[in-house]
Chain A
Amino acid sequence: MTLTVPRAGINPGRAAAPRVEAGQAGAAAAQLGQSFQRIGGQLEADRLSREMNRMQVDLTRDINRMRLDLEAIGDPDQLETEFASRRDALKSSYLSGQRDNGRPMVDPRNRERFDLVFDGLANNAELAIGRRALAGRLAQRESTYLEYAHTATVAAASSDAAGRDGYLQQGEAMIAELQAAGVINAEEATRRRQALASDMEAAAAIELINSDPGAFLDAVDEGEFTALGGVALARYKANAQNRVDAEAAKTERNSELELAAAQKQIGTQLDEMVGIWNADQRAANEDEFLTRPDVMAHPKYPEAMAQRALLLEMPALNLMTPAQLREQIAVERATPKTREFQSERLTVLERKLESEERAWAADPIAHARAKGFNIPSLPDFDANDPQAYVRALRGSTAASAALVDQGWTDNDAVFDASDLKAIRQTLTATENPRDRAVLAQSIVAGLADRPDVIDEIAGDPVFQLVGRFGLAGGHAAVSEDILQGQQMIDAGTVELPPVRDRLQPTFDAVEDLFVDIPGGPRIQSATMAAADALYAARQGRVDPAGNIDEGLYRQALHEVMGGTGKQGTRRARGGLQEVNGQLTMLPIGVSVDMVETSLANIGQVSVTRNRRATNFNESQMSEDLAEISANGEPPVVDGRQLDARTFEAMQMRAVRDGVYEFFYVNNAGEVLVPQTPSGAPYRFKMNDLLLGFSE
Chain B
Amino acid sequence: MCTVALAPLFSAVGGGATAAGATAAAGTAASGLTAGSLFSGIGTALAVGGSIVQGVQGARAARENARLVEEQRETERAINAQRDQRARRQFNSEIRKQFAELAERGVALDSPTAVLLGQEAARELSFESQSIRQTGQARDTELSAEARAYRSRATTSLLRGGLTAADSFLTAAPDLWPSLGNAA
A interface list, Cβ under 8 A from B: 7, 10-47, 101-104, 108-109, 111
Complex Cα–Cα for A554 and B86 (A): 187
Given A13-B79, A25-B53, answer yes or no on A33-B34 (Cβ-Cβ < 8 Å): no
Query: A26-B161, A34-B43, A47-B36 in contact; A20/B50 too (CB < 8 A)?
Result: no
A11: nearest chain-B partner, CB-CB: B83
Interface segment out of the listed B2-10, B61-69, B109-117, B118-126: B61-69
Residue of B nearest to A39 (CB): B39
CB of A415, distance to nearest CB on chain B (Å): 114
Q: Please give, as numbers and ranges, the residues of chain A lying within 8 Å of B45 by CB-CB distance.
A: 33
For A98, the closest partner residue in chain B by CB is B32
The complex places the Cα of A33 from the Cα of B79 at a distance, in Å, of: 49
Pick the contact of B56: A11, A26, A46 (CB < 8 A): A26
Residue of chain B at shortest CB distance from A30: B50
Structural contact, B47 and A20, CB atoms closer than 8 A: no
Asked if A7 meets B54 with Cβ closer than 8 Å, knowing A22-B61, A33-B46, A44-B36, the reply is: no
| CB nearest to A111 among chain B residues | B178
Interface residues of chain A: helix, strand, loop or mixed (majority): helix
A249 to chain B, nearest CB (A): 96
Among B154-176, those with CB < 8 Å from A are: 157, 161, 164-165, 168, 171-172, 175
Report whether A10 and B61 are in contact in the complex, using a CB–CB cutoff of 8 Å. no
Contacts across chains A and B counted by CB atoms under 8 Å: 155
CB distance from B48 to the nearest CB of A (A): 7
Q: Is the interface of B mostly helix, strand, loop or mixed?
A: helix
Q: A37-B172, A38-B43, A102-B29 are in contact. Are A28 and B79 (CB under 8 A)?
A: no
B61-A21 in contact (CB<8A): yes
Contact B164 A40 (CB under 8 A): no
B38 within 8 A of A: yes
Closest CB-CB distance, B67 to chain A, in whole Å? 10
Q: Decide: A26 and B36 in contact? CB cutoff 8 A.
A: no
Q: Is B82 within 8 A of A12, CB to CB?
A: yes
When the two chains form their complex, are residues A40 and B178 in contact, meaning their CB atoms are under 8 A apart?
A: no
* Complex-state Cα separation, A37 to B175, whole angstroms: 10
CB interface residues, B 23-50, toward A, < 8 Å:
29-30, 32, 34-50
Q: In the assembled complex, which residues on chain B have CB atoms less than 8 Å from the CB atom of A45?
A: 36
Chain B residue contacts of A23, Cβ below 8 A? 54, 57, 61
Say whether A20 contacts B40, CB under 8 Å: no
Q: Check B43 against A35 for contact (C-beta < 8 Å).
A: yes
Instruction: Determine if B55 and A33 form an interchain contact, defined as CB atoms under 8 angstroms apart.
Output: no
Our pick among A17, A25, A31, A33 for the contact of B57 (Cβ within 8 Å) is A25
B72 at interface (Cβ–Cβ under 8 A)?
yes
Partner of B50, one of A11, A22, A33, A38: A33
Q: Tell me the bound Cα distance from A25 to B76 in angstroms.
A: 34
Contact B50 A27 (CB under 8 A): yes
A-B contact pairs, 7 of them (CB 8 A): A10-B87, A20-B61, A25-B50, A26-B51, A29-B54, A30-B49, A36-B46
11 extra A-B contacts, CB within 8 A, seeds A10-B83, A12-B86: A26-B53, A27-B54, A30-B164, A34-B47, A35-B43, A37-B43, A37-B47, A40-B42, A40-B43, A103-B29, A103-B34
